[in-house]
Amino acid sequence: MVGEIWASFQRLPLWVRIWMVVILAPVNFAPLFFLGTHPSAIWVAALSVAGMVFNMPILLRQRGFSAALAFPHLVFWAPLVVMLLLRPAPFDGVNGGYATLLIVILVVDVISLAFDSVEAVKWVKGDRTIA
């Protein structure tokens, strides 16, 4: 099973693999390092990580990468992006490295959600192809 998932990953375009490994995953796991530093950190970490963790059952069931992987991102990262854009009271006093991380998460997840929206539409229209 792991071999099938790895082979599927290798069939993705190089730029997608680089995006996922060098940018997307590290940025969305980074909030774990800020837990306890600010009241908002638990929510940011939970939503950031959930967008990836909930892809695991899909990967395991399908034994590869498909457009279905867009849905956990849409479910968890869309509210995160809205929360970061609106900056409600729990974000008062955010500064330093954590503030920078929030901006990076916002930019990266907005880009990801643009790709994910296209992929979700493909899946809804019947494209169940596994890379």
pLDDT at 2: 86
- pTM across the whole model: 0.89
Alpha helical stretches, state H, 54-125: 56-62, 70-86, 96-124
Instruction: Give how far the C-alpha of residue 73 lies from the chain's centroid of Cα atoms, to the nearest Å.
Output: 5
Q: Which pair of structure tokens corresponds to residue 106?
A: 């916002």
Tens place of pLDDT per residue across the chain (131 aa): 888 899 899 999 999 999 999 999 999 999 999 998 888 899 999 999 999 999 999 999 999 999 999 999 999 999 999 999 887 655 677 778 888 999 999 999 999 999 999 999 999 999 888 88
Q: Please report, for the chain, the start and end positions of each structural domain, with discontinuous segments joined by +.
A: 2-124
Would you report the helix, strand and coil content of the chain in percent, each value rounded to 5? 80, 0, 20
